[in-house]
Amino acid sequence: MNKLVKILCCIAAVAVIFILRDMCCNNFFANISYDNNIDVIELFSLIASSIIAIWIGFTITNKLTEQNSAKQFLFNDIIKIEEQIDQLEQLYKEDNVNTTVVFKLITLIDSKLTVLKSSVISFGIKDVDFENLYQTYLDIFMISTNLDSEVGVISDSINPEVVKFRKHLRDIVAKINRYK
């Protein structure tokens, strides 16, 4: 549940407790009197305030649901990119590197980054810096597909780039998470 909704629920709960306590302490129910006359202005005011309250509640819930599903969608894409980077890193820890898988992963990561970037733009999330992430991706591409290097050399030089890539990806997660 969103933080704002939790806070509103807490405030409402505290208000209800105070009202109930006040009612009980002052023997409220014994002294209830009813006025059967209908005041048109009060009735109109009651209906109008109810409609406004329902509309505000509906709008807030709708907006929060939209934001949360947009964020969840982007986070799922980011998780997949992380998994592919993990796989790439893992490949270079093995004795025999499967270069076909390396190239497949490099291409997949590129297409995922392209989709993520265009999704962030179409969801209207601003100030997300993809340039650093993409530059690090190009460094990883450069190192991991240098087929003439010793595997050990690639493994040593790919690690700092993978760390950098993860850091940039987490910066993007933080930016998306702050989006309201």
Partner 1 sequence: MKHIKISKEFSQNLGGRFISLGDFSGEKFYNEILKPKFEEAKNEGVDLAIDLDGASPYGSSFLDESFGRLKREYGEESVKSIIKFETKNYPHVVELIEKRIW
Q: Residue 110's closest CA among 128, 126, 92, 88? A: 88
Q: Which is nearer to partner 1, 103 or 179 (CB)?
A: 103
Q: Is 108 exposed, middle or buried (0-12, 13-18, 19+ CB in 10 A)?
A: middle
Q: Which is nearer to partner 1, 26 or 114 (CB)?
A: 114
Residues 106-125 close enough to bind partner 1 by CB under 8 A: 106-107, 110, 114
CA 171: distance to chain centroid?
Answer: 13
Find the binder of partner 1 among 11, 20, 48, 138 (CB under 8 A).
Answer: 138
Residue 134 within binding range of partner 1, rule CB under 8 A: yes
DSSP-assigned letter for residue 38:
P
* Closest CB to partner 1 among residues 35, 148: 148
Q: Smallest Cα–Cα separation from 91: which of 80, 100, 82?
A: 100
99 binds partner 1 (CB under 8 A): yes
Q: In sequence order, which residues have a C-beta less than 8 Å from that of residue 49 and are 6 or more positions away?
A: none
Under rule CB under 8 A, residue 130 binds partner 1: no
Positive or negative, the CA dihedral 46, 48, 52, 54 is: positive
The verdict on 143 binding partner 1 (CB under 8 A) reads yes
Q: Should residue 52 be labelled a site residue for partner 1 when binding is judged by CB under 8 A?
A: no
Of 127 and 131, the one with the shorter C-beta distance to partner 1 is 131
Phi, psi (degrees; rounded to nearest 5) at 85? -65, -40
Q: How many residues bind partner 1 (CB under 8 A)?
A: 20
Nearest distance from C-beta of residue 103 to partner 1, angstroms: 4
- For the CA atoms of 162, 166, 172, 177, the dihedral, rounded to the nearest 10 degrees, stands at 170
Interface residues with partner 1 (CB under 8 A) are: 99-100, 103, 106-107, 110, 114, 134-135, 137-139, 141-143, 145-149
